[in-house]
Structure 1
Amino acid sequence: MLSKLLYFLLPCLRKEEKYALDNGRKLLEDLIASCDGKSNPIHHYSADELIRATNNFHPSCLIQEFRPHAFRGVLDNRSVIIKTMEAADEARDEAIRNIVISVQMSTHKNVLKLLGCCLEFPLPVLVHEYATLGVLNKKGGLRDDVAVPWKTRIRIAKQVANAITYLHTAFPRPIIHRDLRPDCILLDEEFVPKLCDFSYSITIPPKQSHVKDIVKGTVGYLDPVYVKSANISEKTDVYSFGVILLVFLTGQKPFKENQRGYFEYEDFIPYLKLQLACEGQIKTIVDPKILEELGEGDEEAQQQLHDFLSLALSCTNLESEARPDMINVAKELVQIENSIMPS
């Protein structure tokens, strides 16, 4: 009866109301399915509020590091991140998924807090807290290629690992991020990392260790097992996180492009590092800025680098069963962080 009533009312609604009705129905369905009917309230911003906050989404408000589009805006006298989606077949589902998982994860201190959303556009728009230092770039640094100190890199890795562990273990069924990469990590003014972008996240069905789905993610961070089999498990995130660790250690992107613009598979960081991880060669792959910061002759620091590399390589093992669980990765990073006694 309700559906018939909506059918007759739709022509009378403004386009914003139609968008809100359509997006709201989908959001409610996903919240019920993902949260067992239990969810924190989601603040709804109007389209007019977000247009004013971003000067009608003016290009000068764009946060360049984000994808697909994110704008810096001001709402209630504070800076916020307003994230939009590009029009695509699955864009609405991905935006809704991002909202649903962000709502569940927003209580974690290392997740970018979702302040609310707007359903009055063709695709839902998300409103997040602002992170002062911005997005990590593809080399694990800040804007303008500003390097992050080594100790801070370890702490960021540890805290992001905690957030991923929470994603895997805190809910009735494990949730897999599926697109972990440096540019889904933001830093606040205290260098506290904030994980974001759950658009590709997927839930493992009850009593199963994996779920099959089409391959989504970012070149260089995709688990080869997932690429070959389309099977997604917790170890899918472990692999991607291992590549992030290697980016932190090397200060390099995880792949190279040849002259024709194609990605060279053999140049992916995990495989390159397996060749160069022999004793005595680690200095040839570590970010020179780290070596400059640590100085020569510090055996504890050199051992810390080796331990960090060893963990990264175990995470990127080509056999998914041989990779550690995320909770053990987080514990190992705590040990690595504490391995050098403060002077």
Structure 2
Amino acid sequence: MPSKFLFSLLPCVRMVETESSFLKNGSILLEDLIASCEGKSSPIRTYSADELVKATNNFDPSFIISEDLSFKLFRGLLDDRSIIIKKYLHWPSEAEARSMAIRDIIISMQMSTHKNALKLSGCCLEFSLPALVHEDAAKGALDCHGGLGDTRSLPWKTRLLIATKVAHALANLHTAFPRLVIHRDLKPTCIFLDDNYSPKLSNFSLSITIPPKQFHVEDVVKGTYRYADPTYIATGYITEKTDVYSFGVLLLVFLMGRKIRAVDKSAVVEDLTSYVDANILREVRADEQAQQQLQAFLALALLCTQDGRESRPCMTDVAKELVRIEKSILHC
């Protein structure tokens, strides 16, 4: 009899936990929205935990399309359409994970109007940690093309187009909002591709804002090895040039078609030279204009990854240069 009584109470316990999570997550989200968006933000749909559980067959591992230390991405079906659900894990701690999830929601909301950002459809506040619901990107993350950062299956012109559109999304992140926002963890796994190979920038969980009238902010070092700005690693100072360095590394990845083996500049350049000669130049050997594009692209990548921040361009100028390269305005 007692066991039956306890069993009958389980739905009530779950309901209390769900309501408690909703109130806790909702209050923090609202507080951060007011602080980050100056009280102005576009409304988004709130999903119930039951809806997301049903969409993913109770978060069945077979629905996972990508994962990180702090979250798992599931592809589910909701209202007869495919969606991506981002479910955060209790890492490195519940408080930190909640902060990352809410930051991701807020910046994803702000970026959702940009055509090259992964649109946020809504969120669920009923789990212990908030979950994000994104539009689907049919071809998945960029790293799905043969491994982390592997773009060898993509033609050179497609890589160039992806790089150009990501640059515009990142420049928008830096300039379109009341406070300058730094992504801080740009890498191939943050970029999704739709049916037309159009990129969608995502994962703003480590993003940070720079206060008005300031040029940098100091914080503990976070990010991904090989993509993180060495100046930021050494000083803890974050500026818009922190993202520029990471984007430059991403350009090198696009150029080589795979992840970079080493951070050492001489090793990277040596690796690049042999790979480009053996692969991409062969692809565009008969196309003089494409070879010019390639050389300009490499020069831009190396400029973005200069050791001194003052030598790196801003993302707006990087985006303009990539448009110039894409249109082959490279006449002598």
Structure 2 length-normalised TM: 0.89
Tell me if the contact between 1:270 and 1:313 (Cα under 8 Å) persists in the aligned partners. Answer: no
CA RMSD of aligned residues (A): 2.3
Question: In the alignment, does 2:136 pair up with 1:130?
Answer: yes
Q: Secondary structure, in 3 states, of the residue corresponding to 1:132?
A: coil
What does residue 6 of structure 2 align with? Answer: none
Structure 1 residues 52 and 146, CA gap change in structure 2 (3 angstroms): farther
Q: Which runs of 5+ in 2 are unaligned?
A: 1-12
Question: In the alignment, does 2:83 pair up with 1:80?
Answer: yes
Amino acid at match of 1:330: A
Separation in 2, partners of 1:59, 1:138: 17
What does residue 48 of structure 2 align with? Answer: 46
Amino acid at match of 2:80: N
Structure 1 residues 213 and 287, CA gap change in structure 2 (3 angstroms): farther
Structure 1 residues 315 and 293, CA gap change in structure 2 (3 angstroms): same
Q: Secondary structure, in 3 states, of the residue corresponding to 1:63?
A: strand
Match for residue 312 of structure 1 among 301, 304, 319: 301
What does residue 268 of structure 1 align with? Answer: 263
Structure 1 residues 269 and 155, CA gap change in structure 2 (3 angstroms): farther
Structure 1 residues 235 and 145, CA gap change in structure 2 (3 angstroms): closer
Separation in 1, partners of 2:310, 2:151: 36
Q: Secondary structure, in 3 states, of the residue corresponding to 1:191?
A: coil
Amino acid at match of 1:220: R
Question: In the alignment, does 2:329 pair up with 1:334?
Answer: no
For residue 254 of structure 1, report the CA deviation from its aligned partner: 2.0
Tell me if the contact between 2:140 and 2:194 (Cα under 8 Å) persists in the aligned partners. Answer: yes
For residue 299 of structure 1, report the CA deviation from its aligned partner: 2.9
* CA deviation vs aligned residue, 1:160-185 (integer Å, no higher than 9, x gap): 00000000001121100000001100
* CA deviation vs aligned residue, 1:273-331 (integer Å, no higher than 9, x gap): 34577xxxx4x13284433421x343322221111100000000000110001000000
What does residue 291 of structure 1 align with? Answer: 281
Q: Secondary structure, in 3 states, of the residue corresponding to 1:127?
A: strand
Tell me if the contact between 2:149 and 2:259 (Cα under 8 Å) persists in the aligned partners. Answer: no
Separation in 1, partners of 2:150, 2:15: 47
* CA deviation vs aligned residue, 1:88-136 (integer Å, no higher than 9, x gap): 2210000000000000100000000000000000100000000001101
Question: In the alignment, does 2:105 pair up with 1:99?
Answer: yes
Separation in 1, partners of 2:52, 2:283: 43
Structure 1 residues 276 and 142, CA gap change in structure 2 (3 angstroms): closer
Matches within 5 A, 1:211-222: 211-222=217-228
Tell me if the contact between 1:81 and 1:130 (Cα under 8 Å) persists in the aligned partners. Answer: yes
Structure 1 length-normalised TM: 0.86
Q: Secondary structure, in 3 states, of the residue corresponding to 1:80?
A: strand
Amino acid at match of 2:86: K
Q: Secondary structure, in 3 states, of the residue corresponding to 1:308?
A: helix
Separation in 1, partners of 2:171, 2:307: 21
Question: In the alignment, does 2:161 pair up with 1:155?
Answer: yes
Q: Which runs of 5+ in 1 are unaligned?
A: 1-10, 256-266
What does residue 7 of structure 1 align with? Answer: none
Q: Secondary structure, in 3 states, of the residue corresponding to 2:65?
A: coil
Structure 1 residues 142 and 310, CA gap change in structure 2 (3 angstroms): same
Separation in 1, partners of 2:52, 2:236: 38
Amino acid at match of 2:268: K
Amino acid at match of 1:72: R
Matches within 5 A, 1:1-343: 14-64=16-66, 68-88=71-91, 89=93, 90-137=96-143, 147-255=153-261, 267-268=262-263, 270-274=265-269, 282=273, 284-286=274-276, 288-294=278-284, 296-339=285-328
Q: Secondary structure, in 3 states, of the residue corresponding to 2:276?
A: coil
For residue 338 of structure 1, report the CA deviation from its aligned partner: 1.1
* CA deviation vs aligned residue, 1:151-208 (integer Å, no higher than 9, x gap): 0111110000000000000112110000000110000001110000000010001110
Separation in 1, partners of 2:86, 2:277: 32
